[in-house]
Amino acid sequence: MRKYTYIDKYFFVPIIPLLILISCASVETQDSNLVVTDESIKVDENQLFLDYLDDDWEKSLSDNPLFASYTGDKSSNDKINSNSIDQFIKDKESDKNSLYLLKQIDLSKLSKDNQLNYKLKEFGLRNSINAAEFPTYYLRLNQRGGIQSFYETGNRLVYTTTKDYFDWYKRLEQFVSNINNSLAISKKGLASGHTQPRLVTRGVIAQLDAIINSDINSNPYLKVFKEADESIINIEDKNKLIDDAILLIENEINPAYKRLHDFLLNDYLPNSRESIGIKDIPNGKKYYEYLARYYTTTDLTPNEIHNIGLREIERIRSEMEQIISEVEWDGDFLSFLNYLRTSPRFYYDNPKDLFNAYLIMSKTIDPLLPKIFKEFPRAPYGVIPIPDETAPFTTTAYYNSPSPGRPGYFYANLYKPESRPKYEIPVLTVHEAVPGHHFQISIAQELENVPKFRKYQGITAFVEGWGLYSEELGEFMGIYDDPYDKFGQLTYDMWRAIRLVVDTGMHYMDWTRDDAINLFIENSAKSKLDIENEVDRYIAWPGQALAYKIGQLKILELRNKAERVLGDKYDIKDFHYEVLKRGSLPLELLEFYIDEWINETLNS
């Protein structure tokens, strides 16, 4: 999966100055016979649209300084985004105004490329506006991210000058107000019945407790300054920033965290809901129906998605049974799963060996990619451990995209290596690194002759659908020759099928956490710790887990169609190029362009 570092607003869509078009039906000057008519005013609709996008982009960078930094724009490098309710409302109105201005442009008069740009811009705006109809600010705090993990933002930034380090310090000074906002919002949420489940809140409290009680020298907010590159910043400035940061942490950040921690522990936790489903907050069922449409970019209902998941579980289970037969296992399905979870042969006993296995697998895959791709990202990628502060509370791995001067990173969880099986390493690497997230996201960011927003628009069904689809591509590269590695790939496919069932079950039906855990245990070889972390993730992040399998099924459907219709003209390299060449797309648009490519290839 792709992890998104804490930013208060994920759709960076602004207001731009109103474009005024002046037309005259018939104006005759007193000093000449010149007549200006509607027909004589030639409006270049494409230029109007490009001007709109340029102004809109600049406004988005101004309104979202953290996002601007990620793109390499440091014009607001010492500012952060406010997480207040007032800012939420302001952003919503900004999106509405931007959509209004977009609708003044005549789609029919745009070039083919700009028609796609228009549709994607409108798609992003409408999604952002529709999401803002729900008070989502009440649900920002969860064990997977939020105000308690803002330090990860600093770790993602690129530092090339002394000023960059001082800018991060200035951001931390402002960050205290966001902690205070989070406390105020949590109080309002508790009063209105918009609370997180107690299970989620306990995770946040534990994370806050770890930060507050950490030794100052190991405080995560000190890391950027202690590890500052002395070829960029002189030792005097570095020491000054360390000293100032220690005072800021001790006198402002930690006390603000302590106030939030104590409120969550003493007031919020005992008075919030015990239930796990989002359906149990005000208007929650309607909200989940929206989330299902948003994350899948389809009109599928939660019930339809639930049933798709059940059918996929049955199909994948059949393939798993075949492998169990191949290895001549003397026992039933559940006993085989128990063997995979408990046999020492499938586990490393220390984090270093586990990490090295991920590195080796990455380098094994790299030279195999030309078998199935003809275009490759320019950005490099690396493999690094998930930070110790969050590793116990998060999933097996995630990916963070590259930014100017910084490679993409595949983050691997090394916490409790005895619970992280070797047969997951190949499938996890193709998903998070190559040809999964790193390929798709880097190629999108490197697109040429497209508006800048296109390079950063991440549509979850496409992004995660491609990640899951990439897992199956290990077959083409020959990395699942060992039957246990192949079973690991099927385990991950099963995992995403189960997600459709348990996410809809917990948030839209009446499933319990134990119901969800048991479905995993009965059908996948994932470890108990990993299963519990996954289920807790779905509880904290309703709807997101639906995107993977729905996106994967659509890409597989289109590949099978292309292979069937094109016959000898089909080449998997061409198919992958067509899927990735436009960046992230809603599934309906992806299907439109693949069908167009199939027809053009047939007639070529």
CB environment 461-493: b (16+ within 10 A), e (fewer): bbbbbbbbbbbbbbeebebbeeebbbbbbbbbb
Smallest CA-to-CA distance from 516 within 144, 208, 197, 138 is with 197
Query: What is the pLDDT confidence band of residue 41, given thresholds at 50, 70 and 90?
Result: low
Q: Is 59 within 8 Å of 102 (Cβ atoms)?
A: no
Q: Could you give the angle at which helices 547-566 and 302-326 cross, rounded to 10 degrees?
A: 70
Question: Would you state the pLDDT for residue 527?
Answer: 83
What confidence tier does 42 reach under pLDDT thresholds 50, 70, 90? Answer: low
The pLDDT tens digits for 340-388 are 999 999 999 999 999 999 999 999 999 999 999 999 999 999 999 998 8
Of the pLDDT bands very low, low, confident and very high (cuts 50, 70, 90), residue 116 is very high
- Cα 324 to Cα 11, 155, 187, 319, 543, distances in angstroms: 46, 44, 53, 9, 33
Q: Is the pLDDT confidence value at 526 over 90?
A: no
Instruction: Specify the long-range contacts of residues 206-213, CB closer than 8 Å, at least 24 apart.
Output: 206/143, 206/393, 207/143, 207/148, 207/149, 207/389, 207/390, 207/393, 208/148, 208/257, 208/260, 208/261, 208/264, 209/261, 210/389, 211/148, 211/254, 211/257, 211/389, 212/254, 212/257, 212/258, 212/261
Residues belonging to the chain: 604
Burial 540-576 (b: 16+ CB within 10 A, else e): bbbbbbbbbbbbbbbbeebbeebeeebeeeeebeebb
Q: What pLDDT does 548 receive?
A: 98
Give the residue-averaged pLDDT of 98-117.
97
Q: In whole angstroms, what is the distance from residue 28 CA to residue 183 CA?
A: 64
pTM of the model: 0.89
Average pLDDT over residues 102-108: 97
The amino acid that residue 252 corresponds to is E
The CB-side HSE value for 19 (13 A sphere, CA atoms) comes to: 20
8 versus 145: which is more confidently predicted? 145
Mean pLDDT of 99-114: 97
With bands split at pLDDT 50, 70 and 90, how would you rate the model's confidence at 395?
confident
Q: Phi first, then psi: what are they for 188, rounded to 5°? A: -65, -40
Locus of tokens 């049955």: 314
The region, left, alpha or beta by phi > 0 then psi within -120 to 50, assigned to residue 283 is: left
Sign of torsion over alpha carbons 227, 229, 232, 236: positive
Spatial distance between the Cα atoms of 189 and 191, rounded to a whole number of angstroms: 5
Angle, helices 302-326 vs 333-342, to 10°: value is 80
pLDDT over 70 at 2, yes or no? no
User: Are the CB atoms for 87 and 22 separated by under 8 Å?
Assistant: no
Average pLDDT of the segment spanning 149-160:
94
What value does the mean pLDDT take over residues 160-164?
97
Q: Is the peptide bond before 435 cis (omega within 30 degrees of 0)?
A: yes
In 478-546, which residue ranges form alpha helices assigned H by DSSP? 483-508, 513-523, 528-540
Residue 220 to residue 189: CA distance in whole angstroms: 28
409 phi and psi angles, rounded to 5 deg: -130, 130
**Three-state DSSP class for 428?**
helix
**Average pLDDT, stretch 50-72?**
95
Average pLDDT of 172-199? 98
Per DSSP, the residues of 306-364 read: HHHHHHHHHHHHHHHHHHHHHTT-SS-HHHHHHHHHH-GGG--SSHHHHHHHHHHHHHH
- pLDDT over threshold 70, residue 10: no
Instruction: Give the integer Cα–Cα distance in Å for 20 and 222.
Output: 50
Question: How high does pLDDT run on average in the chain?
Answer: 92
For residue 479, what is the DSSP state? T
pLDDT at 16: 30
**Cα separation, 337 vs 523, whole angstroms:** 8
Whether residue 203 has pLDDT greater than 50: yes
345, 341, 316, 318: which is closest to 501 by C-alpha? 316
Residue 39 has pLDDT above 80, yes or no: no
pLDDT of residue 4: 35
Q: How confident is the model at residue 19 (pLDDT cuts 50, 70, 90)?
A: very low
Q: Which strand ranges, in their side-by-side order, compose the sheet holding 408-412?
A: 381-385, 408-412, 397-400
Q: How far apart, in whole angstroms, are the C-alpha atoms of residue 398 and residue 496?
A: 15
The H-or-E segment that residue 383 falls in is strand 381-385
pLDDT in tens, 416-440: 999 999 999 999 999 999 999 999 9
Q: What is the dihedral of CA 206, 208, 213, 219, to 10 degrees?
A: 120
Tell me what percent of the residues of the chain surpass a pLDDT of 70: 93
pLDDT above 80 (res 32): no
- Closest by Cα among 531, 527, 534, 529 to 342: 527
Picking from 316, 323, 200, 216, the residue whose alpha carbon sits closest to that of residue 269 is 200
Mean pLDDT confidence for 229-257: 98
